[in-house]
Amino acid sequence: MSNTIQKLYELGQSVWCDNLSRKLIDSGELQRLVDLGVTGVTSNPAIFMKAITGSDDYDAAIERALAGGCNDVLAIYEKLVLPDIADAADILRPVYDKTDGADGYVSLEVNPKLAFDTEGTIAEGRRLFAELGRPNVMIKVPATPEGIPAVETLIGEGVNVNVTLIFSIAMHEKVMAAYLAGLGRLVASGNDASRVASVASFFVSRLDTLVDKLLGEKGGSATALCGKAAVANAKLAFARFAEVFDASGSFGELSAKGARVQRPLWASTSTKNPSYPDTLYVDPLIGAHTVNTMPPNTLEATLDHGTAANTVEGDVEEARALFASLAEAGVDLAAVTDQLLGEGVDVFIKAFDELLANVSQKQTALRTAS
């Protein structure tokens, strides 16, 4: 019998795992998840920070780097992370091949300190994609004003891109426009549009966390709106995605040349408020041409008691009405999403700095011990 993840796939939604570590690979756990129906993996600086600082699984790799004369902390970091990405991509390669490139991707984020550096992001995206040398790797680029032109350039060069840290409908519009412009450049240069893929990572739970806080401060009837903004935001994003990538519209010409849609990917889907259902950001957002990247606890909850039905296309008018109610309650969603983007970049930079500091400490300790 098929499990919930496989049933979601039958409905057109891919389930990816929002976690990666050497232990996940070497223990066979990642292969087990793929066997269950997981068709992709996402990573970020916070995930690698926890993996590397929270274990000694990478000490041998640090020792090898030192023995080889590598002393640069950033270079050592890549010697730890790139093999994880490469090995995960190899595990998922059969999925990529079976789906003819529609699925089976592993995402690696560019240095988060490049979030506001267009040219730096482009250069690093090119380099990492080339060094990994696998067609089922996606380079994660943040949806900052400086990241958007980098998305267009990288897509135009045939680099798969996961556009991350999207919180607002307005930014999602810019992300989709950059993807389409990149596809146009790719086709104009005579390249095969079917060999490039992209997802738009729309962050979900963090919106509820901040909006609920604001509603709680207002008190009274405003609190009745708690726990609803994130799903409504995602449903409106999907509705706009469906309009933009309608084959009968301007995307049709690109589609005829093999171009793929840029799938919305629901990110940050673990439930932060323990009083909310643990599949709150899974069950209402199921539909064709979507991805849900789940941390382990959400993935297990979905397997245990998740639902399988096409739900993302419904309640669009209700979502618009909710946004109107939030505005009436004094919640400025544009300000909220701007704040979340800034905080998201800061969180990844902090995690990256902590990771590099830990690698440096291990580097010193191992050199002293030898």
Active site residues per annotation: 140
**139 strand-pairing partners:** 108, 161
Coil/strand/helix, residue 189: coil
**40 strand-pairing partners:** 105
* Cα 181 from Cα 175, distance rounded (Å): 10
* Cα 147 from Cα 210, distance rounded (Å): 24
Nearest C-alpha neighbor of 265 from the set 242, 237, 245, 291 = 291
- Report the alpha-carbon angle 50-344-307, nearest 5: 75
DSSP 245-286: T-TTSTHHHHHHTTPPP-EEEEES-S--STTS-TTTTTGGG-
- Both tokens of residue 370? 């030898």
Strands (DSSP E) along 105-213, which ranges? 105-109, 137-142, 161-166, 198-203
DSSP class of residue 37? T
* Cα 188 from Cα 177, distance rounded (Å): 16
Calculate the alpha carbon distances from 64 to 71, 81, 365 in Å: 11, 14, 14
Question: In terms of residues, how long is the chain?
Answer: 370
